[in-house]
Amino acid sequence: MKRCHRCGYEWISTLKQPAVKEICEGCNAYLHCCFNCRFRRPPANNQCEIPNTDWVADRQGCNFCDEFEFKDTTADTGEDPRQSAARDSFDALLGGGSEDKTDVGADAFDKLFDE
């Protein structure tokens, strides 16, 4: 699947590549950019797998690279287990996550300072 590098929104089109200034429907990021290209390799020269490509200063912005090919990505199937464990540890540290959050808004404020 061809997905936006920023939000993961799937790009569906009959075209093989997005137009140069085409934007994502989910987050308005440019689709024809280095971050969506299958040849992007940060350690390589010009951060591109293809030698002799022109330098692109804004890798998230649109560019006119003729070598651009939209990379295929898979859908995110779930949350990273490390992220979940970190969130649980943080909630345990601050005592959050298990509270009853039914009293919110003006009523909760009035109850807090009611005598």
The string of pLDDT tens digits covering residues 19-75 is: 999 999 999 999 999 999 999 999 988 899 998 888 899 999 999 999 999 998 865
Evaluate whether 17 touches 32 at the Cβ level (below 8 Å): yes
Q: pLDDT: is 102 or 82 the higher one?
A: 82
The domain locations on the chain are 81-112
> How far apart are alpha carbons 100 and 48 in whole angstroms?
51
What is the pTM for the complete model shown? Answer: 0.62
Query: CA-CA distance, 9 to 40, in Å (whole number)?
Result: 19
Are 44 and 31 in contact by the 8 Å Cβ rule? The answer is no
Q: How far apart are CA 59 and CA 35, in angstroms?
A: 6
Query: For the chain, where are the E strands, in sequence order?
Result: none
